[in-house]
Structure 1
Amino acid sequence: MRMRRRTASSAAVLGAALLLAGCAAMPGDGSPGPVPSDPAGQGQDSQVVVVAVPPKDGEAPEELMKGFLDDLVSDEHGYETARKYLAQGTTWDPEQRVTVLDGMSVLPPQTSNGKEATVVVEGRQLAHLDANHVYATDGADDGGVKVDLPFTFAKNAQGQWRIKELPPGLILNQVDFQRIYQSVDLYYPARQGPGVPRSAPLVTDPVYLRSRIDPLDTAVTQLLRGPSDWLDPVVASAFPKDTRLARLQTAADGTASVYLRAPEPGGLTSGAACQSMAEQLYLTLSQVNTQESSQSGQAVSSVRLYRDGDGSALCSMDASTFAGRQPASSATGYYVGTNGHLWSVSPDSGSKTELGAEPVPQGVGIGSFAVAPDGGSQVAAVSSDGRALYVSSLTGSAPPSQALFHAERGSGAGLSTPSWDAAGTIWVADRSVPDRLLAAVNGQPAVVSLVGLSGTVTRVRVAADGVRIVLEVQQGGQDRLLLGRISREGTEQSPLLTVDGLHPLAPKVTSVGALSWYDGDSLIMLGQFEGSPTDSLAMLETDGSQAQQNSGNAQLLSRMSQVSAVQGIQPQALLGSDQDKKIWKLAPNSNKWEFIAEGSQPTYPG
Structure 2
Amino acid sequence: MAADRGGDARRTPGRAVAYATCGAVLLAGCASMPDRGDLRGVESTPRQETQVRVFPMPPREDAPPSEIVQGFLEALTSDDPKYATAKQYLTTAAARTWQPELSTTVLADGPDTEADSAGTRDGGFDFSFTLTGTKIALVDAQQSYTPTEGSYSRQVHLTRDKESGQWRIDGLPQGVVMGQSDFQRNYMSVNKYYFASDSAVGASAHPAAVADPVYVRRRVDPMTQMVRLLLGGPTTWLGPVVRSSFPTGTALRKGVGELTPDDQNRLTVPLNDKAARVGPAKCNEMAAQLLFTLQNLTPAVDEVELRVGDAQLCVLDEEGAAAVAARGSVRRTDYLYFVDGEDRLVRIPAGSRSAQAEPVPGELGEGARALRSAAVSRDEHTAAGVALDGRALYVGSLASGGSLGEPVVRSTGRTEKDRLTAPSWDARGDLWVADRNPDDPRLLMLPEGKGEPVQVQVPRLDGRIDSVRVAADGVRVALVVEKDGKQSLQVGRIERGSGDQGAGEPGVSVLELRSAVPQFEEVTTMSWAGDGRLVAVGREEGGVQQMRYVQVDGSVPEVPAPDALTGVKEIAASEDERLPLVAYSVDGIVRLPDGAQWQTVVKEGSAPVYPG
Shorter chain as normaliser: what TM range?
A: 0.7 to 0.9
Specify the SS of the correspondent of 1:199.
strand
Q: How far apart, in 2, do the equivalents of 1:146 and 1:410 lie?
A: 44
1:260 is aligned, of 264, 268, 271, to 271
Specify the SS of the correspondent of 2:174.
coil
Larger relative contact order (CA 8 Å, sep ≥ 6): 1
Alpha-carbon deviation of 1:526?
2.1
Query: Is 1:436 aligned with 2:455?
Result: no
Partner of 1:227: 234
CA RMSD of aligned residues (A): 2.7
Alpha-carbon deviation of 1:177?
1.1
Query: Is 1:66 aligned with 2:70?
Result: yes
Q: How far apart, in 1, do the equivalents of 2:474 and 2:600 lie?
A: 32
Query: Is 1:447 aligned with 2:455?
Result: yes
Alpha-carbon deviation of 1:409?
5.0
Partner of 2:363: 358
Do 1:195 and 1:441's aligned partners in 2 also have CA atoms closer than 8 Å?
A: no
What letter corresponds to residue 334 of structure 1 in structure 2?
Y
Alpha-carbon deviation of 1:44?
4.8
Q: How far apart, in 1, do the equivalents of 2:335 and 2:215 lie?
A: 34
Do 2:145 and 2:555's aligned partners in 1 also have CA atoms closer than 8 Å?
A: yes
Do 1:448 and 1:496's aligned partners in 2 also have CA atoms closer than 8 Å?
A: yes
Partner of 1:535: 545
Q: How far apart, in 2, do the equivalents of 1:316 and 1:469 lie?
A: 34
Do 2:476 and 2:493's aligned partners in 1 also have CA atoms closer than 8 Å?
A: yes
What letter corresponds to residue 278 of structure 1 in structure 2?
A
Alpha-carbon deviation of 1:410?
6.3
Mark the CA change 1:371 to 1:465 in structure 2 (over 3 Å): closer, same or farther: same
Q: How far apart, in 1, do the equivalents of 2:176 and 2:463 lie?
A: 39
Q: Kindly report which structure 2 residues correspond to 1:124-273, keeping only aligned pairs within 5 A, or say none.
A: 124-139=134-149, 145-156=150-161, 157-192=163-198, 198-246=205-253, 247=256, 248-263=259-274, 265-266=276-277, 269-273=278-282
Q: How far apart, in 2, do the equivalents of 1:551 and 1:189 lie?
A: 30
Do 2:527 and 2:572's aligned partners in 1 also have CA atoms closer than 8 Å?
A: yes
Listed one character per residue, the Cα deviations across residues 99-133 of structure 1 (whole Å, up to 9, x for unaligned) are 22213333335321122221222322222211111
Do 1:467 and 1:485's aligned partners in 2 also have CA atoms closer than 8 Å?
A: yes
Partner of 1:300: 301
Q: Kindly report which structure 2 residues correspond to 1:158-557, keeping only aligned pairs within 5 A, or say none.
A: 158-192=164-198, 198-246=205-253, 247=256, 248-263=259-274, 265-266=276-277, 269-288=278-297, 290=298, 298-307=299-308, 309-312=309-312, 314-327=313-326, 329-349=332-352, 350-352=354-356, 353-359=358-364, 363-374=368-379, 376-407=380-411, 409=413, 413-433=418-438, 434-442=440-448, 443-444=450-451, 445-489=453-497, 494-532=505-543, 534-546=544-556, 556-557=565-566
Listed one character per residue, the Cα deviations across residues 505-527 of structure 1 (whole Å, up to 9, x for unaligned) are 22332333321111122211222
What letter corresponds to residue 333 of structure 1 in structure 2?
L
Alpha-carbon deviation of 1:203?
1.3
Do 1:441 and 1:495's aligned partners in 2 also have CA atoms closer than 8 Å?
A: no
Specify the SS of the correspondent of 1:81.
helix
Specify the SS of the correspondent of 1:220.
helix
Mark the CA change 1:549 to 1:482 in structure 2 (over 3 Å): closer, same or farther: farther
Partner of 1:11: none
Q: How far apart, in 2, do the equivalents of 1:356 and 1:585 lie?
A: 24
Mark the CA change 1:579 to 1:67 in structure 2 (over 3 Å): closer, same or farther: closer
Mark the CA change 1:46 to 1:136 in structure 2 (over 3 Å): closer, same or farther: same
What letter corresponds to residue 368 of structure 1 in structure 2?
S
Q: How far apart, in 1, do the equivalents of 2:585 and 2:78 lie?
A: 49
Do 2:106 and 2:136's aligned partners in 1 also have CA atoms closer than 8 Å?
A: yes
Q: Kindly report which structure 2 residues correspond to 1:32-111, keeping only aligned pairs within 5 A, or say none.
A: 44=48, 46=50, 48-90=52-94, 91-101=97-107, 102-108=109-115, 110-111=119-120
Alpha-carbon deviation of 1:186?
1.1
Q: How far apart, in 1, do the equivalents of 2:561 and 2:90 lie?
A: 45
Q: How far apart, in 1, do the equivalents of 2:228 and 2:200 lie?
A: 31
Q: How far apart, in 1, do the equivalents of 2:375 and 2:288 lie?
A: 29
Specify the SS of the correspondent of 2:252.
strand
Q: How far apart, in 1, do the equivalents of 2:392 and 2:365 lie?
A: 9
Q: Aligned pairs, how many? A: 541
Do 1:362 and 1:399's aligned partners in 2 also have CA atoms closer than 8 Å?
A: no
Alpha-carbon deviation of 1:63?
1.3
Do 1:209 and 1:215's aligned partners in 2 also have CA atoms closer than 8 Å?
A: yes
Partner of 1:13: none
Listed one character per residue, the Cα deviations across residues 250-286 of structure 1 (whole Å, up to 9, x for unaligned) are 11222111111144753xx232211211111110011
Deviates more, 1:128-137 or 1:475-484: 475-484
Mark the CA change 1:325 to 1:241 in structure 2 (over 3 Å): closer, same or farther: closer
Q: Which runs of 5+ in 1 are unaligned?
A: 1-40, 140-144, 291-297
Do 2:200 and 2:206's aligned partners in 1 also have CA atoms closer than 8 Å?
A: no
Listed one character per residue, the Cα deviations across residues 134-159 of structure 1 (whole Å, up to 9, x for unaligned) are 112222xxxxx332321111233433
Mark the CA change 1:42 to 1:51 in structure 2 (over 3 Å): closer, same or farther: closer
Q: How far apart, in 1, do the equivalents of 2:273 and 2:444 lie?
A: 43
Mark the CA change 1:519 to 1:571 in structure 2 (over 3 Å): closer, same or farther: farther
Identity %: 34
Q: How far apart, in 1, do the equivalents of 2:115 and 2:339 lie?
A: 66
What letter corresponds to residue 325 of structure 1 in structure 2?
V
Q: How far apart, in 2, do the equivalents of 1:531 and 1:410 lie?
A: 31
Q: What is the TM-score with the length of structure 1 in the denominator?
A: 0.83
Q: How far apart, in 1, do the equivalents of 2:505 and 2:384 lie?
A: 21
Q: How far apart, in 1, do the equivalents of 2:188 and 2:610 lie?
A: 30
Alpha-carbon deviation of 1:342?
2.4
Mark the CA change 1:473 to 1:452 in structure 2 (over 3 Å): closer, same or farther: same
2:131 is aligned, of 94, 117, 121, to 121
Do 2:227 and 2:290's aligned partners in 1 also have CA atoms closer than 8 Å?
A: yes
Specify the SS of the correspondent of 2:207.
coil
Q: How far apart, in 2, do the equivalents of 1:572 and 1:42 lie?
A: 31
Q: How far apart, in 1, do the equivalents of 2:413 and 2:467 lie?
A: 17
Q: Which runs of 5+ in 2 are unaligned?
A: 1-44
Q: What is the TM-score with the length of structure 2 in the denominator?
A: 0.82
What letter corresponds to residue 179 of structure 1 in structure 2?
R
Q: How far apart, in 2, do the equivalents of 1:214 and 1:425 lie?
A: 41
Deviates more, 1:336-345 or 1:127-136: 336-345
Mark the CA change 1:380 to 1:326 in structure 2 (over 3 Å): closer, same or farther: farther
